[in-house]
Structure 1
Amino acid sequence: MSATWSLNDVRPRERHAFWRETLTTAFTPLRPEPVDGGRWGDGASLRGDVTTRPLGQLNIATIRSCAQQNVHGAAEVRRSDEEVFFVNLIVRGRCFGEQQGRECDLGPASIGIFDARRPFRLTYTDDWDAISVRVPTRDAAMVAWATSAPTSRRVAADRGTGRLLAGVMTGLARADGSDIDGTREALVDAFLLLLGAAASGTGGAMPSHAEVDAQLHDRIRAHVRDTLREGPVEPNDVARRFHISVRKLHQLFEQSDRSFGRTVLAMRVDAVARDLDAGSPATLSELAATWGFADASHLHRAFRAHTGRAPGEYRRTRLAA
């Protein structure tokens, strides 16, 4: 369900506080300030509106306002209740972004990426419109470029993969929620894959098939890891989730050192090992049920095959350490 905030009906003297609360609710804790130390006087000159809509694990927003600085300082970082970063497409106006000593100049048809786990400052010099996608850091880890800890990064939105990414963001911002219900997961996947390709440092070039497959392989592994507790992880269900064929799913894992089935089994064993490392008092039968093994015997065989030790021996070794 979408939500909209507007300054149109807010009394001038209340606009600054209302706008600060709006930005914090819609995005992340932000402190709006006049540009160059100026003042908004009685607040009448402060204008703006925001509309947000959830899109799976993402959140997409359209925003328009006047010249201002939006500061996400150390105090705002401490107030943040989730770890996210933002992908901002400038539609109108100009924004100067600063984060960790890096600067980027964002005009129309450019995209800026900012990590809300660290302080940043966005300076808008005139009236502006933007589309912003809020992405949980956990999902950022699924795209190839996230390990470089992107800060104040600019992506050209008028060529190459950046242009495709901007097109997806614009389409999502304009679509009515009911228009995308049937393709929500596919759109999220498309956005993240294009984001990874656009920001990977390839100069705007289209990613190779191998690069796309590698990103998809990593996203599937992350999905499997997160759903182990929910029961069987069936190839048909996973393929449907990522809108690929079962054959394609198996091909992705044939290119690595383990098949899809062996990958799932190894992840279950790793999960049990983590519980044992943490000193879990659960019995082997309870651990087997928690992590999707048929029974304790199945867990015993799989654990020994993957680690070279029986789970009981592994537990005793850890306790003695």
Structure 2
Amino acid sequence: MISFDLQKLKASERFGYWREVLCNVYVSLTPEPDDRFDFSGSVSDHDLNGIGVSKISSKKQIISRTPSGIRRDADAFYFLNLQTRGACGVVQLGQEQLTKQGEFVIVDSTEPFSLDYVSEDWEQYSFKIPKQMFDAHIGASRTALLKKVSAESAVGDIVINYLTSMARRAVQLDTNPDEIRKSMFDLIRLGLTEGEDGNPSRHCDMRSGLRQYILNFIELNFSDPTLNPAKAAAHFNISTRYLHKVLEEHELTFSQALLERRLQSCAEDLKRGRPRNISEVAFRWGFNDLSHFSRAFRRRYGTTPREYRRSEMEKSDF
């Protein structure tokens, strides 16, 4: 993760540095602020297995992608810009969109575009996706450009929630980036095709995407001792009954998937011998009942947590 915050610079130096930051993190861009003398902004950026995930905020300005900027860059990207505060007017290829909080559009770095941040205080999550990667997963189609996806629709809400969780936890997702990335593309495709007719597999795709999103939600939150099906269902704005229905095609139920993930992390801690207190291991990964933890662990690994740790530590001595 790299971060840039203009507040640490003198006011007279901020805007010049801002353009350098934008060009380094994104592509060659031309910003024009509403006020050069009262300017502030910040950018944080993390590479998630080839996809740049950034958080950007600033004051009112217009950021342009010009033909000269395009000529300076050798690589091509799509930018999925998710508005989390304020509003942005987007223009590309003769199309216009206004994105507000909880909405995103996609722009193409190989064509000129304009981003008019009309709010005095705005914030975005931006996903910098190599064009070749995007085309392989979504398809090389102009229809994806500037099609607005909004959290106001059922599918859009799921997609927006997933992308928001990804951006907030990008650093933590490095352990399993391929699966996270696949789910991201599946859900983006669902969001972009919402409302299209003549797609008989759409409902199946939707269920499959939501099922993976639920499993990823468990992956991100399994250490929370209060996590249960009702809490997960509330997060996705669906009923608990529907959550179970979505997962029933998968070989694990919600509770089984949650228990398995917690036990895996406990086993890893015990294998390393840290921390020494077994109850601390259990509580760290979401268990709040030691008897339940011991029984579940023995069913899963065929031995008690204490015996498992002793056996694993003895193996490491050889």
Correspondences of 1:70-219 after superposition (within 5 Å): 70-126=63-119, 127-148=121-142, 150-175=144-169, 177=171, 179-202=172-195, 207-209=202-204
Task: Give the Å deviation of 1:187.
Answer: 0.6
Question: Who is 1:11 aligned against?
Answer: 10
Cα deviations by residue, 1:115-146 (Å, 9 ceiling, x for unpaired):
11100000011210110101111111123453
Task: Give the Å deviation of 1:3.
Answer: 0.5
Matched residues in 2 for 1:191 and 1:185: separation? 10
Task: Give the Å deviation of 1:162.
Answer: 2.0
Question: What count of residue pairs does the alignment treat as equivalent?
Answer: 206
Aligned-partner SS, 1:180:
helix
Describe the shift of the 1:150–1:80 C-alpha distance in structure 2 as closer, same or farther (beyond 3 A): farther
The residue type equivalent to 1:66 in the other structure is: K
Task: Give the Å deviation of 1:198.
Answer: 0.8
Matched residues in 1 for 2:13 and 2:196: separation? 45
Q: 2:33 aligned with 1:34, yes or no?
A: yes
The residue type equivalent to 1:202 in the other structure is: G
Matched residues in 1 for 2:133 and 2:63: separation? 25
Asked if the contact 1:60–1:133 (Cα under 8 Å) also holds between the matched residues in 2, the reply is yes
State percent identity of aligned pairs. 23
Question: Who is 1:55 aligned against?
Answer: 48
Asked if the contact 1:115–1:150 (Cα under 8 Å) also holds between the matched residues in 2, the reply is no
Task: Give the Å deviation of 1:201.
Answer: 4.8
Asked if the contact 1:94–1:128 (Cα under 8 Å) also holds between the matched residues in 2, the reply is yes
The residue type equivalent to 2:63 in the other structure is: N
Task: Give the Å deviation of 1:33.
Answer: 0.3
Task: Give the Å deviation of 1:207.
Answer: 3.1
The residue type equivalent to 2:103 in the other structure is: S
Asked if the contact 2:150–2:160 (Cα under 8 Å) also holds between the matched residues in 1, the reply is no
Matched residues in 1 for 2:133 and 2:207: separation? 16
Asked if the contact 1:145–1:196 (Cα under 8 Å) also holds between the matched residues in 2, the reply is no
Q: Gaps (5+ residues) in structure 1?
A: 214-244, 246-321
Aligned-partner SS, 2:144:
coil
Q: Gaps (5+ residues) in structure 2?
A: 209-249, 251-318
RMSD of aligned C-alpha atoms?
Answer: 2.5
- Scaled by the length of structure 1, the TM-score of the pair is 0.59
Cα deviations by residue, 1:210-263 (Å, 9 ceiling, x for unpaired):
6899xxxxxxxxxxxxxxxxxxxxxxxxxxxxxxx9xxxxxxxxxxxxxxxxxx
Matched residues in 2 for 1:82 and 1:108: separation? 29
Aligned-partner SS, 1:169:
helix
- Scaled by the length of structure 2, the TM-score of the pair is 0.60
Describe the shift of the 1:203–1:17 C-alpha distance in structure 2 as closer, same or farther (beyond 3 A): farther
Asked if the contact 1:90–1:110 (Cα under 8 Å) also holds between the matched residues in 2, the reply is yes
Matched residues in 2 for 1:11 and 1:166: separation? 36
